[in-house]
Amino acid sequence: MMRMIPFTLENGETVLGVEVNLPKTNLLAITTDKGYIMCGALDVALLNERLKHREIIAGRAVGVRTLEELMEAPLESVTFMAEKLGIVAGMKGSDALRLML
């Protein structure tokens, strides 16, 4: 099953959450037009190394089970391009999303 949920950030902007229920796991992502945050399934090293030319803006949070938790969780790692926007590991997901708008 899959669900899509809009979230309104504190600044009034809307981002889109996507949850994909798979056997024994869920894939979670919340996206803006510029970038996204995702659950632990995101491979930040792959984005930074092999896909560096794509300049992907993304962050990864681990241990989250819902989109709501992803919004509140501290990011465990972020891409080089996310860092250029001021997004850093330890930053709350919703704060990173505001910088991706």
Residue with tokens 């994909």: 20
For 10-65, write each residue's pLDDT tens digit. Answer: 999 999 999 999 999 999 999 999 999 999 999 999 999 999 999 999 999 999 99
Q: At residue 83, what are phi and psi to the nearest 5 degrees?
A: -60, -35
CA–CA distance, 73 with 70 (Å, rounded to integer):
5
- pTM value? 0.95
Query: For 16-28, how does the pLDDT look when each residue is reduced to its tens digit (9 = 90+)?
Result: 999 999 999 999 9
Asked if 18 and 33 touch (Cβ cutoff 8 Å), the reply is: no
Angstrom distance (rounded) from CA 29 to CA 34:
13
Per-residue pLDDT at 35: 98
